[in-house]
Amino acid sequence: MEMTRFEKWLVNRNKKAERNIARVRQRLAELPSAAIKDALELGCGIGSVAAFLSETYQMQVLGTDYDQNQIQIARKRHPENERLTYQVEDATHLSFQDASFDLVISQNVFHHLPQWQTAVLEIKRVLRPRGFLLWLDLTLPKPVARLFQPLFKRHGLYCLADVKYEFEKQGFKQLFHERRTHGFFFQNHLVWQKVR
């Protein structure tokens, strides 16, 4: 789903990029990052995290976004090179071969996806065995999510238990979880490893 102009303003701010990079850096410090060669960022926006991974960790990084305009901005701000490319992709129907990546990053993407469970399947498919997922997004308290799900057909509304259930059902093991209150929502940062 394409974002509104206001949503783009929120996610394209430099401060937002700095926070996202800081979170990724923290989590990678706890993982065998030297073994991570190929990374996929879902919802890369203006490309700041993808460029950071490419420059700092020498990873082969593919930044994807559903919005063509975001990809154009990413290419201008962080030009493509031999380790960094961008392309338009739908997180629920990725065009990549099975087991293509050691790392997938999804920050604030799922709440834009009405069929977010399909994105879980796609992440599983494109991750290599023992690959990692860094997932950060908003969740709602369970009663609130259940109450508003029928009204918001164009967004992903879920509670943390829903997300955990889907990833565990698909063979992911949770390695890390941090939860912060973010207004009416909870902001959850999870690290998963594909174990089957």
Residue pLDDT, tens place only, 29-41: 999 999 999 999 9
CA distances from 17 to 50, 95, 146 (A): 11, 26, 31
CA nearest to 53, candidates 37, 65, 71, 72: 37
Q: Can you give the three-state secondary structure of 135-170, one letter per residue?
A: EEEEECCHHHHHHHHHHCCCCCCCCHHHHHHHHHHC
Those residues whose C-beta lies under 8 Å from the C-beta of residue 142, and which sit 6 or more positions away, are 159, 161
Please report the domains of the chain, with CATH numbers, ordered by start residue. Answer: 5-194 (3.40.50.150)
Query: What pLDDT shows up at residue 15?
Result: 86
Around 28, how many Cα atoms within 13 Å sit in the side-chain half-sphere? Answer: 22
Q: Is the pLDDT of residue 61 over 70?
A: yes
Segment 123-143, tens digit of pLDDT: 999 999 999 999 999 999 998
Asked whether the whole model's pTM tops 0.85, one would answer: yes
pLDDT confidence tier of residue 115, bands split at 50, 70 and 90 = very high
Rg (CA), the chain: 16
